[in-house]
Amino acid sequence: FDSTVVAVETDAGITGYAECCPLGSAYLPAYAKGVRAGLEEIGPKLIGMDPTALLPLNAHMDAVLRGHPYVKAPIDIACWDILGKVANLPVTTLLGGLAQPDVKLYRAISQEDANVMAQKIAGYRAEGYTKFQLKVGGDPNDDIVRIRACREILEPTDILVCDANTGWTMADAARVVNAVADLDVYIEQPCMTYEESVSVRARTSLPFVLDENIDGVSMLQRGLAEDAFDVINLKISKVGGLTKAKQMRDLCVANHIPMTIEDTWGGDIVTATIAALAQTTPEKFCFSATDFNSYGTVDIADGAPKRVNGRMKASTAPGLGITPKWDVLGEPVGVIG
């Protein structure tokens, strides 16, 4: 996937970095070139602002560009990196302090033949993973076989999330949740809309995760009021950056809702951002997190977290603790200001 690295420079000589990587153009209302087009639109309107004043910055971004949270996210995150460097503190301290010694990761398993998926899970278990996100949302007959084959190969203490990524109709979702009702699995985002997904939740006693529809504080509040989920998937760029993700994280903790903390996709800088938010979330409410840089083939920054036995730790260096590899990234594709 096409990722955009953003550098926010200050007149004090301090630069903050962030990364935004939409998962293609058909997953969320976001696309890779849209990040850069949005930055060209909003960037000139931010020149001269104080990057350490994060709330006024976010209010101004929302005032000058309606919507497009994924465009604003890397600006916000880069300013958190700046704030950490100014304060000589890691972003984890700024987000509230370490709440757990490290973060348990999940591994995503792409749709394939059921036996192939089960074999991949066995391999990832040997690497230390105990939480798995099984990609379903295809033919319900195939999905039922996939879920059963993968649950069978796991230990009773392992977690298996069946993530349809909005792919089922309500009819197909109803079939699947009834067919696997005897298994210890989670059901994630079965249908396209919030209303369809909540209808499926009413038909199953299995624990329920919402992701794509929880795209901001207002939808989170609605879901809490309507008992729409047991867990949410909190993607940082989907909601507009660390400032708004922290608001949602704290609201979930206050309401005793666990979260998978991650993003749409990305590399080293995205992974560093995820690790900072996840490790400052109490373990009880940090359902899992993602080390996206372990899925990629190119390292774009030094200092990023690396998985060890299915876990990772955020950097203790000031800011996000990463340094971009300019020999890999090359020259900027755009400069604003």
Active site residues: 135, 235
Question: What are the C-alpha distances in Å from 92 to residues 124, 284, 319, 322?
Answer: 28, 18, 8, 13
**Contact assessment for residue 281 and residue 261, using Cβ atoms and an 8 Å cutoff:** yes
Using CB atoms within 10 A of its CB, is residue 11 exposed (0-12), middle (13-18) or buried (19+)? exposed
What ranges in 26-107 are assigned the alpha helix state H?
A: 32-42, 54-64, 69-87, 91-94
Q: What is the CA radius of gyration of the chain?
A: 20
Identify which of 218, 204, 128 has the alpha carbon closest to the alpha carbon of residue 164: 204
State the Cα–Cα distance between residues 102 and 39, nearest whole angstrom. 34
- Chain center to CA of 80: 17
